[in-house]
Each structure stands twice: as C-alpha cells, then as structure tokens.
Structure 1
Amino acid sequence: MSEEGYEDDPVVDEVRPYALTSGRTRSVIDLPLEARLTLEPSARHHSWPPEQLVTRIVEVCAQGASVAEVAAVVGSPLGVVRVLLGDLVRDGHVRVEATLRDGSSIGERHELIERTLSGLRAII
C-alpha cells in the first residue's frame, strides 16, 4: 500500500493493442475472417524483431492459417491482427488467398465450412 492507502498500480508487461496499430482500427485492405494467408518470400528473408506480435503473426501465416486462426493462435484482438495483417499484405510479405466467389463449387463451400469449424474447435 502507498501512503494514500491505495495499492500500487500493477506493472503491465503488455503493450495496449491500439499502440501496436498506432491507433488505427481498420486495415488498409479488406480481410475476411475466412481468408487464407500465405507468406511471400520477402517475409522469410525479413529480419523480424523477436518476441513481437508481428513476428508471431508471420510465424502463424507460414502455416497457411486464416485471418481468424491467426488472431486465435496469437491471442490478440481480431481488429488488431487485421490491421497488422493488412500492413503485411500491403508491404508484400503476406498474400491473401481467394475466398469464396459467386461461382464457387459446393465442394469449395463445404471445405470452407469445415475449416471454419475446425478453427472454432481449436479456439474452444
């Protein structure tokens, strides 16, 4: 307890999410939750700062995850992850794979549903 009778503020080890995005709340590109992400060669040769959220995001993208899966695996708010992913896409480090289109087959639609369910199960 301090002299005023209040407990000292706890030390916070994490940076606030809005600080990671410089206060931005929207991605520079539209990123659907189900969009699959893949790394471009530039990301593999880039020197990412260790123990940073962007580094963890890049590592998860290397596994071919969706936007929602990346947020779940790194344990950060979806909005923050979308903004950072948008920056990585804009800078040419991550590629967004095409999602469903009007002409998508029944098989493609079922595959998306299965991936979505699998991702949800992983979160729970």
Structure 2
Amino acid sequence: MTDNEWVDDGPLVRPYALVRGRTRARQDVFDLVAFVVAMVDTLHGWVRTEPEHATLLALCRLPISVSELSAGANLPIGVVRVLLGDLLDMGAIRVREPVERPTAQLIKEVLVGLQAL
C-alpha cells in the first residue's frame, strides 16, 4: 500500500492517532446518554484542533447524546469521549446528564418488546 492510497473515501487513520495516544478525557463526564451542546459556532482560530473536533461541534448544535455523536461522526466512542474532553476544556461545549435515567423495569420491557419482533 502506498502513502497515496485511500480507503473508504478518506485516508486510513487509526483511532489512537486522532487523539494522540490518549485513552481518556480529563473529565469523566461523558456517559453514553449524557447530552452535549455546542457553546460556540466555530473552532476557527483555535489551536490544536483536528477536523474531527469540528465535526463533533457541528453535530452538537442542538443537544445530542454522546452515543449519537459517536454514530453521527462514525468514530469509536472512546475517541469521541477524548475529543469531547478537548472541546469541554476549551469551553466549546457543555455537558448535561439526562434528567431521568431509565429504570431496570423499563429496560426489561424494551428487551421483551425487541425480542417479540
């Protein structure tokens, strides 16, 4: 494979390269169901940002869960958490835990409903 070959319409970049080898965000506030919302319109002029930071920021113009951000950006959840940590450190986003978490009974009912399909 040469340096100029492309895979899936883009360069193949390993997830750890996107986050410069980091495996965790400094803050442990990025639960899968936590909501993230952008506080700024753009990262233009900010230092040490990657295109993936801008992608995540664009996706969270309206409140969106961390898991939905991962799916929307097509990035592994661990990478998304680290990149969101960068954005939080910069003050570019705000994170909120959901008001109500599903009960164990509700989760069981959902599983039963899915199995019935």
Q: State the TM-score, normalizing by the size of structure 2.
A: 0.69
Aligned to 2:67: 68
- For 1:58, the aligned partner's letter is L
Q: Distance in 2 between matches of 1:39 and 1:69?
A: 14
Q: 2:43 aligns with which of 43, 46, 54?
A: 46
Q: Residues 36-83 of structure 1: CA distance to partner in whole angstroms, max 9, x if unpaired? A: 01111xx2153179x921111001111211111000001011100100
Aligned to 2:25: 27
Report the number of matched residues. 95
Q: Distance in 2 between matches of 1:73 and 1:45?
A: 18
Q: State the TM-score, normalizing by the size of structure 1.
A: 0.66
Query: SS of the counterpart of 2:85?
Result: helix
Unaligned runs of 5+ in 1: 1-8, 101-107, 118-124
- 1:48/1:55 contact within 8 Å kept: no
- 1:37/1:61 contact within 8 Å kept: yes
- For 1:97, the aligned partner's letter is R
Question: 1:1-124 alignment to 2 at 5 Å?
Answer: 9=1, 11-12=5-6, 13-30=11-28, 31-40=30-39, 43-47=40-44, 52-100=51-99, 108-109=100-101
1:17, CA displacement in angstroms? 1.2
- 1:24/1:83 contact within 8 Å kept: yes
Question: Alpha carbon RMSD of aligned pairs, Å?
Answer: 2.6
Unaligned runs of 5+ in 2: 111-117
Structure 1's consecutive aligned runs of 4 or more residues displaced over 3 angstroms after TM superposition are: none
- For 1:74, the aligned partner's letter is A
Q: Percent identity?
A: 37
Largest Rg, 1 or 2? 1
